[in-house]
Structure 1
Amino acid sequence: MAQPKFFLQPLAAAISVACYSGLVFADTQQITTQLAPIVVTAQLANDANGLIIHADPKQPIQPIPATDGADYLQSIPGFNAIKNGGTNADVTFRGMFGSRIKILTDGSESLGACPARMDAPTSYIQPESYDQISVIKGPQTVQYANTGSAATVIFERKKPELNAAKPYQGQASVLIGSFGRLDHNLEATVGDEKKYIRLNANRSESSSYKDGDGNTVPSAWERWNTDLALGWTPNNDTWLELTGGKSDGEALYAGRDMDGSQFARESLGLRFEKKNLTEVIKKVEGQVNYSYNDHVMDNFRLRTPPMTHDMMTHQMVSNPSEMQVTRRTLNSRLAMTSEWNKIDLVTGIDSQQNHHAGSMKSMMMDMPLSTNMKFQSYGAFGELSYQFSENSKLVTGARLDQVKIDALKLNDNRKETLPSAFIRLENQHPEHDLKTYIGLGYIERVPDYWELFSTAHGNTGMAKPTFNDLNNEKTLQLDMGYQQQHGAFNSWVSAYAGLINDYILMSYHNHPMAGMGGHDHGSSFSAGAKNVDATIAGAEAGIGYQLSDAIQADISAAYAWGKNTTDQKALPQIAPLEGRFNLRYVQDKYTLGMLWRVVAKQDRISLNQGNIVGYDMGESKGFATLALNASYNIMKDIDVAVGIDNVLDKTYTEHLNKAGSSGFGFASNEQFNNTGRNYWARVSMKF
């Protein structure tokens, strides 16, 4: 794969000994930054009394710092991921998957193209190039198009603050680790009070890792990203920014019969923000964003292609094949924030148009790239906050989306009107150092591209099309929680319970395969989609204690539960109960840390049911892993850290791992193992 080399290798050799880092462990009133590598067991900085979580992706996490968006999100309680190999996992939250989780970058959505989600939206995100990650739990916002029912996740870059005294800012880091891991990251901004130019560039690579038994798991990858921004700030109330970016990568997948040999991204965006227009209109903001994702998967560039029987020569011959898929997405948004008396109101309109195209090449076919799906949505929203007393606030909102999906090859289309709304009460109890929230949200979700186009049938059981054979998914969810800080002790809980009508469930079984000319060519074990009703519930919770001036400890747990009430079965592909214990020793110049992660077995399964990426293959075993870390402040703005993940070199498999590909010698339904003992080191400097 051709890729730019942003940093000279001597630089890597010179400074590859670990990291700038810090744990943000706080409530909204007080944020303390410490040197220890981020180990997210405590509640992070937050809003809405703990409903909205904020994380700093420039601070590394353990296990080894993240390769993509899904990697980072797994460090936040409630998030897990379906793993393919070493990178590009597909994130889940509270057992929910896919378009139920809205992934945004700077308020805009960039969608993957692979019909099996080999290139999930998080695959195109390099977290360290962003300034903040915000997670809004549940259907508790309406400000973004086609809002996710499980969560809305926003990766965002903030406006830089420059002046004549310091007309530049940035940071750089280099990381080395076991199994050939090498990362370079650079962010540099130059300008003054009225203009700036910002460059974000990074490159990451790794060889295939070994599991705890010393067996190599196919999982190598290379990736690079560059993003450039030109900003204009003629005064404190005006901000105009033009952005552009490119990236590419390749990934070897233990859990798939094809690898990702191209993850090309091109993006272009323009946004503006104008504050304090009148005493009432505090802000008007707008943006237009275009992205083009061009993904290639094949079975011959990164692995040996399979053999097949040639009917002409009656010999076994190599059978290479590849598929190219693309997604062009255009997003636009215009919003206005108004304030008067005790009321804050955000109103706006937004739209999205995206086109999907695909092609296939093999010994049997040569299909050219052609557009097969067009999607367009238009929405309007309003979100209001009312501070009706000093310690109490009411937040509510509603939106309406008009969606049209054209299936070009089926010569069919689907039009939907989707309502969503929520109401939430936030309270503070100063006498008890306590904050609480409770909210009720409702959202309707149209079946997404993968549910409509990557499945063999819908509710009727008939072969294609499933296009108008699946109902919209409807979620009504109650979210509640609290956080309390009292002296050296703190605790927090975020809980939820929901009813989902027409939940879209994937069931895997053998389906006929149509070959050239529509003739039957056997069968494949693939997904059919159907609607069922479901009930979900669960919580994330944590407690922390400052044992002394130097010693801190905290523990967290996350549990998700779901039931298919139509068939009286468990909902599939839900990660089991997980707990994390974090112990830190913090001094002015150095820290020592320990993370103990304990995962229970998962015996609530639904055999051969799941989502478009994975399905339940059986009950999973519990496991525990231990990780150690240390950091040292060499001098002002230069920090170094080292870490050991899976210290005891345990052999284990996550419940949500995919089964290994038979092309690598894995047996049917045999899941590949996760990484064994892993050493890493990272250095970072700010300037």
Structure 2
Amino acid sequence: MKLLTSVAMLGLVQVMLANEGATNVTNSNSQNSHSFLDAIMEKSSLPKQDSQNIASPTAISPLKQFGPPALINPNIALGYYLENQFDRTNRASYYNVLDPINNSPDIFHFSAGYFGYGDYESVLLRTREDNAYAVLNAHRSNANEYKDGNSQKIKFGYDRVGANFVLGYVFNPLNEIKFSFLYDDIDDDKQPHHTMDAIKTQRYVSRLNYRLGLENLANTLNFDLAYIDLSRQADNYSLRQNNGMKMKMKVDRKIFDSGLKYDISFLDFHNLFGVGYKHDKHIAKRYGKAPNADEFSFNGYRFPGVKIDQISLYDTISYSINSQNELSLGVEYDYNKAKIEHLNDAIKMGQKTITPHDIWKSHYGDSFNGSVKKDALSIAAKYKYTPNHNQSYTISLESLERIPSNEERFVSLSSPNNNAKGQGWASNPNLNPERRNRLKAQISFKDDNFIRYMESKYDQNAWSVGATLVADRADDFIILDRARGQEGTNRADKSGDVISRNIDATLYSASLNASYNFLEKFGLKGSLYYNYGENRSDDRPLYQIAPLEAIINLDYSDYVSFGRYSIGLVTRAVASQNRGDFDSKTGLGIDRKVSGFAIYDIYGSLAFSENFGLKFGVNNILDKEYAEYISGAHVEVVTPTNVVHAPGRNFYITLNGKF
């Protein structure tokens, strides 16, 4: 498993903790600018190697991922935009003039904002004295119901508090130790598209890193330890009226992750070798109470005590042919052993009892002894051509193999009502690892005067263009589906319950972005995204494939006597997705047909001194009624009960400052 050697490990936690068994890859509130946290890690004057495990299977992920929102780490805490799973517009990425305030080395920073349907506050302290440094952050979010573009109230909302810190000490240029801790608590996360609400989510993340060797990674050993504790509770009665059967779910997951990686440079070669060990313990129980019952009774395992041990070995060697050409080869081997602790626990369902073993056997036919071993081998080759400092061309050939997640293998829920059809969920413990054979090409080139968006040398007109293409032919691709007696399942099982399968699939993803700075004070940038997914085994589209999307920003910025300001206009246009998985009789039925849309935002910022600034804007200025094609993911919703629209016209303002 790839090891991270900076506080960016907190980002990896999003992958490890996104839910009871899957991941959450998208954090729409990341900052683009170089932060103080990055700066305090850059203490060596020697050039730093671009060291990465190019064969890491973490580059691929499940098709649809469920779980709580991304963690708020110190790098994004000051520029965070209130999270809403039903609106994928990335407003945290809009240009503003407050970065010098947020990224300054001053000790105390704060941010407070009102976002139309909620508020967010954050304080951050960071300091460095001699060889010691520290970063401490606390934040609070509150989101409430809002009106969509048709003035309909959406029963949305949550309360969230969190805290995190990074402590480090540099003994000498060859020795450094860092400790990171993150706490996240989300209460009353309302789910208007589902029958249950996430009442309580708590995440604790601790991580220790020790570096032996120079930071330029010429001859450097890094050792990592991480411990992650996740607990969740959900029910269908605390935040809504329910006169029928009451249900609740309790989840507990603990992950211990460790690793050692060694970087060494010799002649024109750089070699990265690593070994990792992860232990994952995961249990989730469901309880029910009929209207005439006195108390809740246990009626099912979502995860029946899953224990996983995984060992990973990887190596990437890079060869600098010359100053313009570099070739890298990488390999990773993962060995995963899983054991079910409660395989034969009897669960009372009305007048009969059932076990997780019974559930899996009824859906897949073969008996499962509660233990499964899987291994995966990933290989990759990467060629990078950099003719000059303004151009870069990269092409990668990858064959990455991903071991299925807990959610894809170990869910064992029968229907809470014996007479109900299609309400159970039994994923397949014997799924094959997913093999993704990919071609990935990336290009970027820019004008000599281009520094970054809205910043050029000598205030000259300047431009930048970049593009990415990924073509993926997948074998044993893992999907969720409905039991209809498919190949690899019990042919007699026509229950319609949620199952998981291996199929063959084809996926394409392409993006194009361009930026242009002109007339000293103006900037224009645009992005275009396209995705395609096909289930070749069943000759039907894959589910939850994002439609064609285009984003165009126009910005203006200038200095005034009291500081600096900016004003911008953006349009986000999203096409309708006609290729989907809309019918549970022929597929999973997770997709919902929604219209394409175009929305417009106006936004601005004002730094009225070196210490204080404002960000403000009007979102969806035409009060457009729209809904995202990609459905909400805070809980495992495979059949959304309704389409949830994004907010209508709303105003936001934030105050940022430092002392």
- What is the TM-score with the length of structure 2 in the denominator? 0.73
Are 1:480 and 2:419 counterparts?
no
Look up the match of 1:288: 225
Cα offsets for 1:237-276 (capped at 9, x unmatched): 3221223332211211111211111111223221111223
Change (3 A) 1:130 1:563: farther
Look up the match of 1:205: 142
For 1:374 and 1:672, the matched residues in 2 are separated by 36
Of 517, 531, 539 in structure 2, the residue corresponding to residue 568 of structure 1 is 539
CA drift of 1:385 comes to: 1.8
Contact 2:20 2:253 in 1 (8 A): no
Of 163, 177, 193 in structure 2, the residue corresponding to residue 226 of structure 1 is 163
CA drift of 1:546 comes to: 2.3
Change (3 A) 1:230 1:556: closer
Q: How does 1:170-209 map to 2 (within 5 A)?
A: 170-179=108-117, 181-209=118-146
Of 252, 262, 272 in structure 2, the residue corresponding to residue 326 of structure 1 is 252
Contact 1:241 1:272 in 2 (8 A): yes
Which stretch shows the higher mean deviation, 266-275 or 631-640? 266-275
Secondary structure of 1:111 counterpart: helix
Cα offsets for 1:411-458 (capped at 9, x unmatched): 511111211111111112339x4321111111111221111123779x
CA drift of 1:124 comes to: 11
Letter in 2 for 1:507: D
Secondary structure of 2:159 counterpart: strand
Letter in 1 for 2:287: K
Secondary structure of 2:260 counterpart: strand
Are 1:105 and 2:10 counterparts?
yes
Change (3 A) 1:548 1:668: closer
Secondary structure of 1:344 counterpart: strand
Contact 2:425 2:498 in 1 (8 A): no
Look up the match of 1:685: 657
Are 1:298 and 2:224 counterparts?
no
CA drift of 1:281 comes to: 5.1
Cα offsets for 1:631-670 (capped at 9, x unmatched): 1111113221101111111001111225999xxxxx9853
Q: How does 1:27-176 map to 2 (within 5 A)?
A: 105=10, 111-112=16-17, 121=24, 131=37, 142=53, 147-149=58-60, 169-176=107-114
For 1:543 and 1:167, the matched residues in 2 are separated by 31
For 1:618 and 1:109, the matched residues in 2 are separated by 26
Change (3 A) 1:320 1:375: same
Contact 2:235 2:249 in 1 (8 A): yes
Look up the match of 1:655: 629
Letter in 1 for 2:111: S
Of 433, 442, 460 in structure 1, the residue corresponding to residue 399 of structure 2 is 442
Contact 2:57 2:400 in 1 (8 A): no
CA drift of 1:170 comes to: 4.3
Letter in 2 for 1:484: F
Change (3 A) 1:574 1:534: same
Are 1:599 and 2:574 counterparts?
yes
Structure 1 residues not aligned, in runs of 5+ = 1-56, 58-102, 133-139, 159-165, 309-318, 512-521, 662-666
For 1:631 and 1:466, the matched residues in 2 are separated by 49
Structure 2 residues not aligned, in runs of 5+ = 1-6, 39-50, 76-103, 291-295, 344-368, 415-421, 449-461, 486-492
Letter in 2 for 1:351: Y
Change (3 A) 1:608 1:473: farther
Look up the match of 1:89: none
Of 243, 254, 270 in structure 2, the residue corresponding to residue 307 of structure 1 is 243
Letter in 2 for 1:553: L
Look up the match of 1:670: 642
CA drift of 1:556 comes to: 1.0
Contact 1:113 1:294 in 2 (8 A): no
CA drift of 1:616 comes to: 4.2
Contact 2:426 2:498 in 1 (8 A): no
Look up the match of 1:216: 153
Which stretch shows the higher mean deviation, 524-533 or 564-573? 524-533
Are 1:245 and 2:219 counterparts?
no
For 2:147 and 2:280, the matched residues in 1 are separated by 39
Letter in 2 for 1:542: N
Change (3 A) 1:401 1:580: same
Change (3 A) 1:338 1:377: same
Secondary structure of 1:603 counterpart: coil
Are 1:553 and 2:514 counterparts?
no
For 1:594 and 1:150, the matched residues in 2 are separated by 34
Which stretch shows the higher mean deviation, 170-179 or 290-299? 170-179
Look up the match of 1:452: 409
Are 1:362 and 2:288 counterparts?
yes
Look up the match of 1:539: 510
Secondary structure of 2:407 counterpart: helix
Look up the match of 2:324: 391
Are 1:257 and 2:195 counterparts?
yes
Are 1:414 and 2:377 counterparts?
no
**What is the aligned-residue RMSD (CA, Å)?**
3.8
Secondary structure of 2:342 counterpart: coil
Secondary structure of 1:400 counterpart: strand
CA drift of 1:107 comes to: 5.1
Letter in 2 for 1:414: V
Contact 2:173 2:214 in 1 (8 A): no
Change (3 A) 1:141 1:224: same
Change (3 A) 1:639 1:609: farther
Cα offsets for 1:311-349 (capped at 9, x unmatched): xxxxxxxx4321110110001111111111211211111
CA drift of 1:111 comes to: 3.5
Are 1:430 and 2:361 counterparts?
no
Contact 2:483 2:496 in 1 (8 A): yes
Contact 1:197 1:231 in 2 (8 A): yes
Letter in 1 for 2:326: K
CA drift of 1:235 comes to: 2.2
Contact 2:513 2:525 in 1 (8 A): yes
Cα offsets for 1:80-126 (capped at 9, x unmatched): xxxxxxxxxxxxxxxxxxxxxxx952655663485586xx5579998
Letter in 1 for 2:574: V
For 2:327 and 2:72, the matched residues in 1 are separated by 26
Which stretch shows the higher mean deviation, 140-149 or 235-244? 140-149
Letter in 2 for 1:429: P
Look up the match of 1:500: 474
For 2:503 and 2:25, the matched residues in 1 are separated by 28
For 1:126 and 1:659, the matched residues in 2 are separated by 16
Which stretch shows the higher mean deviation, 546-555 or 210-219? 546-555
For 1:549 and 1:573, the matched residues in 2 are separated by 42
Letter in 2 for 1:263: T
For 1:220 and 1:524, the matched residues in 2 are separated by 35
For 1:124 and 1:530, the matched residues in 2 are separated by 28
Change (3 A) 1:456 1:300: closer
Contact 2:426 2:499 in 1 (8 A): no
Cα offsets for 1:554-573 (capped at 9, x unmatched): 11100011111112222221
Letter in 2 for 1:194: N
CA drift of 1:495 comes to: 0.5
CA drift of 1:146 comes to: 5.1
CA drift of 1:388 comes to: 0.5
CA drift of 1:508 comes to: 3.6
Secondary structure of 1:450 counterpart: helix
Q: How does 1:630-645 map to 2 (within 5 A)?
A: 630-645=604-619
For 1:447 and 1:243, the matched residues in 2 are separated by 29
For 1:455 and 1:602, the matched residues in 2 are separated by 32
Look up the match of 2:94: none
CA drift of 1:491 comes to: 1.5
Contact 2:336 2:373 in 1 (8 A): yes
CA drift of 1:147 comes to: 2.2
For 1:489 and 1:541, the matched residues in 2 are separated by 14
Look up the match of 1:377: 310
Look up the match of 2:270: 344
Change (3 A) 1:141 1:563: farther
